[in-house]
Amino acid sequence: MRFGIWALVHGSRGALRDPEEPYDASWERNLALVQEAERLGYDSTLVAQHTINPHHAPNDQLEAWTSSAALAAATNRIEIITAIKPYLYHPVVLAKMALQIEHISRGRFAINLVNAWNRPELEKAGIGFAEHDERYNYGREWISVVEPLMRGETLTFRGKYFNVNDYTLRPADPYRARPRIYVGGESEPARSLVADHGDVWFINGQPLGDVRALIDDVASRPRPGSPLNFGLSAFVIARETDAEAQTALLRLSELAKLDAPIRAVQRANTDPDSVMAQTMSKTPRVGSNGGTAAGLVGSYDQVAERIRQFAEAGIELFMLQFQPFEAEMRRFAAEVMPRVRRL
């Protein structure tokens, strides 16, 4: 079992106007955050990729790939997982960048393949925003080029979108066969894609029964190579007692209501065919990517037990959000991690 944190590439995850966590998506904060997470024993960090802030365009947004290269040089143990939207980078260029960060990190790098939900990010750049299944068709062909190049293979590829001739990237990966591949998304094309090309499937935060059903479906699919692993996004609110946790949840919920105009714009910019958007609309929550819908809200013992239940269902990596992030990240490391280990 591993624990990771979401890097704060676009600031606060739960409520944007929290006096206990002023908005800050700076490089300086993210560097300090990831370095401290490593010292506290966290295993991974996920660096989401956006060129403009998906919640509120006037707000700051950290660039994922340049920041990840710098994080790789400034850390020693923590895995760095960087999201990639295939339309933003040619696969040959991205494979080379991934191998370079793999070298900088000495074998601690991974890519997280996502196929985009925020329409303006691509449309305003003149790239265009294809319909849902077409984006996954593009992503499947894209990773079919990236994966063998990251392995150091010589590739000739003829497809609908890419033609690559006798291409080899050097130096190859000296630490393992290639960087790890995570895949996000819960639609049928996403499930098929991760079964064929992924190492880890990232599931958005949702109740245990729903997560079990998702894991059972994808784990039963034939795939080449080793069995698939599973990760879960979750927003954690852990306190000494359940009552204290519920009070903290209520506080954040009330603050999040202040963001309603911003969230309305975000919903309008989101692809309605995105299964993530459909799933998230079913359950009130705090946080992104499912947030508190995973149920990691309660006393330290309750949260530890719920994590144990998710792990029993097949979750191997918990990618966590907190608010205020640094203080609650420390609390989780001090109070919940030891309880999980004992369980």
pLDDT band at 275 (very low <50, low <70, confident <90, very high): low
| pLDDT for position 266 | 74
pLDDT band at 301 (very low <50, low <70, confident <90, very high): very high
Ramachandran angles phi, psi of 270, nearest 5°:
-90, 135
| pLDDT for position 125 | 86
pLDDT(277) > 90 = no
3-state DSSP assignment of residue 113: strand
Non-local (6+) Cβ contacts of 144 within 8 A are: 157, 159, 197
Percent of the chain with pLDDT over 70: 96
Ramachandran angles phi, psi of 249, nearest 5°:
-65, -45
| pLDDT for position 251 | 97
Q: What is the mean pLDDT of residues 35-47?
A: 98
Domains of the chain: 2-342 (3.20.20.30)
pTM: 0.95
Ramachandran angles phi, psi of 41, nearest 5°:
105, 5
| Mean pLDDT lowest among 101-115, 251-265, 311-325 | 251-265
Tell me the sheet residues that pair with 229: 200
Ramachandran angles phi, psi of 202, nearest 5°:
-85, 125
Burial class (CB in 10 A: 0-12, 13-18, 19+), 98: buried
pLDDT band at 318 (very low <50, low <70, confident <90, very high): very high
pLDDT(279) > 70 = no
Q: How far apart are CA 185 and CA 116, in angstroms?
A: 9
For residue 165, what are its two tokens?
């001739």
What are 99-154's pLDDT values in tens digits? 999 999 999 999 999 987 778 888 888 988 888 899 999 999 999 999 999 999 99
* Sequential DSSP letters for 149-218: HHTT--EEEE-SS-EEEEE--SS--SSSSS-EEEEE--SHHHHHHHHHH-SEEEE-S--HHHHHHHHHHH
| pLDDT for position 105 | 98
Question: Can you state the angle between helices 208-219 and 300-313, rounded to 10 degrees?
Answer: 20
What are 74-92's pLDDT values in tens digits? 999 999 999 999 999 999 9
Which of the two residues, 101 and 283, has the higher pLDDT score? 101
What are 155-181's pLDDT values in tens digits? 999 999 999 999 999 999 999 999 999
What are 50-62's pLDDT values in tens digits? 998 888 888 899 9
For residue 159, what are its two tokens?
């497809």
| pLDDT for position 225 | 84
The mean pLDDT value of the chain amounts to 94
Burial call 107-126: b when 16+ CB within 10 Å, e when fewer: ebbbbbbbbbbbeebbeeee
Question: HSE (CB half, 13 Å, CA atoms) of 8?
Answer: 30
Q: How far apart are CA 14 and CA 125, in angstroms?
A: 28
pLDDT(273) > 70 = no
pLDDT band at 295 (very low <50, low <70, confident <90, very high): very high
pLDDT(282) > 70 = no
pLDDT band at 250 (very low <50, low <70, confident <90, very high): very high
Q: How far apart are CA 148 and CA 215, in angstroms?
A: 26
What are 194-230's pLDDT values in tens digits? 999 999 999 999 999 999 999 999 999 999 888 999 9
Question: Can you state the angle between helices 188-197 and 132-150, rounded to 10 degrees?
Answer: 10
29-32 LR contacts (CB < 8 Å, sep 24+): 30/62, 30/67, 30/71, 31/70, 31/71, 31/74
For residue 236, what are its two tokens?
């954690």
pLDDT(31) > 70 = yes
Q: CA nearest 198: which of 157, 230, 172?
A: 230
| pLDDT for position 134 | 92
